[in-house]
Structure 1
Amino acid sequence: MPELPETQTIAALLNKNLKGRKIVTVQVSKDYRALPSTEIFIKAVTGKEIKSVRRVAKNILIELENGNHILFHLAMTGRLLLWNDKIGNERWVKVILHLDNGVKLTFSDMRVFGKAAVLSPKQTQELEARYGPEPLDKKTTHQQLVDRLKTKRTNIKNALLDQEIISGIGNIYATDALFLAKINPFTKTSEITLENANRLLDSIRSVLKESIKLGGSTLNDKMYVDPFGKEGKYQEHFKIYSKEKCPVCGSKVSFIKISGRGTYFCPSCQPLNKQ
């Protein structure tokens, strides 16, 4: 968390509200290190106009007038918030961008797993090249997905979280997509057929689009909110994630950790080796 729908929601709102604004001053907390260094970060972004804000995988990129980008990776507990006046009770604020219209953009991170960095155009290209195809890109095909899956020797759940195979998908949406596609999370990537990949990519797109429409998912920890502090609503529409009974057949939902990630699935609707 946040995954593709959450970062897409944040990027879209920041683009709408920050495009054309100039960064007047920058504050970085003394206990935090922006990359490549706090000094370079502040110098590189101060006085620059914001051209656009977009998402790459789970990263948020703010394009500046000189071609450089500010990168924010929110990891588990990062948040980006916009403030028209004083910064409220937001805790763990690490970076503040003061804009020419008085608005402030804050980056906070409780567990400090996130990242704030400035990237050159070359570094931005290298970042983009590290990720697999975007699931919502119309150019991403079912054949492409199955071919990339077969390059890895693992189970399908792990593969969907591998950002080199397909970008932006995290635990929640992998879990829900596999349920809709009726694929057991333990299915080996070598056993995924083109028919499986057809159902799976369609299911991935379905849950991602629905979540984006609903503003993402806000869990019980309330860590994710959009830049205006609004919670997402997809958690009210989870397909199988966090459920105890299957919404399709009524069977008890199985819960197990795969590579440390909590995984929910229905043994009846998602039988192993019957894909």
Structure 2
Amino acid sequence: MPELPEMENYRKLLSDKLLDSPITKVTIEREKSINVTPEVFEKELVNHRIVYIERRAKHLIFHLSTGRRLVLHLMLGGVLYVGTEGERPKRSTQIEIELGETTLCFIGLRLGYLHLLSAKETDELMSDLGPEPLDYRFTEEKFKERLKGRRGTIKTTLVNQHVIAGIGNCYSDEIAFAASLRPDTKIQDLLQNEDSSSRLYHAVQSVLREATAGGGYMEMPLYEGDELTGKYDEQCRVYDREGETCTRCNEGIINKVEITGKKAFFCPVCQH
């Protein structure tokens, strides 16, 4: 599932390609992916423009010139592609938004959605989300405050969108690795060690910033000639690396375990 770095990468690249171009056509192949009728959806988009693209947690929010919003959550398996008719990948699309010769394709929206909402409805949808981990106001002190009184593990806490927004399975494991902590470490134990909790905070910052700059781990390019999207996959140290030798200690073999129903990867030698 796309996480903060993937969606931030999409936000930046799409902002360079789509803003202020008139929407000329909308095609809905899967009505369950939207929250209004295709007729209403088309009427609200065609002849209007996308004026701003915002990211909140794992969502993209397309601000329309009408004041309405398109809220996207790709969920598991969802990807985006933007290009001309001749460039489109050979995959079925659920929604297409045409802006002249350029088409924004929403692919794999079997669980994901693109909802047309008002500004108020969008704010209400996002109201339960935790703070953005890369916001300059999210200091180490505030990070530790978010963790106080919580039960569970590093893994389950980091992926909890009500605690911190935007982190999922991949980056929770990479963050734990960067902090040299096992993902099944109990939060209450972590907070008893000032150094460990500090390392975890700085690992959140460094991993998410590096992953965003590296284009995230999504496999499919966003557009023809896109050499950034997905490049961070090569830099993942533990996620999906089961059975491989740890690149840091060169001794441990990456383990895969389940933590409260979620898969987690870690090095048993250098994560404690």
Superposition TM-score, scaled by structure 1 size: 0.89
Deviation at 1:33, TM superposition (A): 4.2
Distance 1:65 1:4, change over 3 A: same
Asked whether the 8 Å contact 1:18–1:52 carries over to 2, the reply is no
Q: Which amino acid aligns with 1:225?
A: P
Point out 4+ residue stretches in structure 1 off by more than 6 angstroms.
none
Q: Which residue of 1 aligns with 2:253?
A: 252
Aligned residue pairs, count: 265
| CA 1:46–1:197: 2 relative to 1, 3 Å | farther
Q: How does 1:4-83 map to 2 (within 5 A)?
A: 4-29=4-29, 32-83=32-83
Measured in 1, the distance between the counterparts of 2:14 and 2:267 equals 38
Counterparts of residues 1-275 of structure 1 (less than 5 Å)? 1-29=1-29, 32-86=32-86, 88-99=88-99, 101-109=100-108, 112-193=110-191, 194-218=194-218, 222=219, 224-228=220-224, 230=226, 231-243=229-241, 244-249=244-249, 250-271=251-272
Which structure 1 residue ranges, 5 or more long, are not aligned?
none
| Deviates most, 183-192 or 87-96 | 87-96
User: Partner amino acid for 1:107?
Assistant: F
User: Percent of pairs identical after alignment?
Assistant: 32
Contact 2:33 2:112 in 1 (8 A): no
Counterpart of 1:160, as a letter, is L
Amino acid at match of 2:158: L
SS for the counterpart of 2:270 is coil
Counterparts of 1:25 and 1:143, CA distance in 2: 48
1:227 shift after superposition: 4.2
Match for 1:122: what amino acid? K
Q: Aligned partners of 2:30 and 2:171: how far apart in 1?
A: 36
Check conservation: 2:3, 2:166, Cα contact below 8 A. Answer: yes
Task: Verify the 8 A CA contact 2:71 2:117 in the aligned structure 1.
Answer: yes
CA drift at 1:239 = 2.2
SS in 2 for 1:184: coil
Distance 1:69 1:19, change over 3 A: same
> Which letter does structure 2 place at the counterpart of 1:266?
C
- Separation in structure 1 between the aligned mates of residue 257 and residue 44 of structure 2, nearest angstrom: 46
Cα deviations across residues 181-201 of structure 1 (Å, max 9, x unaligned)? 112211112222243332112
Deviations 1:195-230 (A, max 9, x none): 333211211121111112221113xxx4x4324474
RMSD: 2.0
Aligned residue for 1:133, secondary structure, equals: coil
Q: 1:19-45 CA deviation, whole Å, 9 max, x = no partner? A: 111212211015644114433322222
Counterpart-to-counterpart distance in 1, 2:38 and 2:195: 49
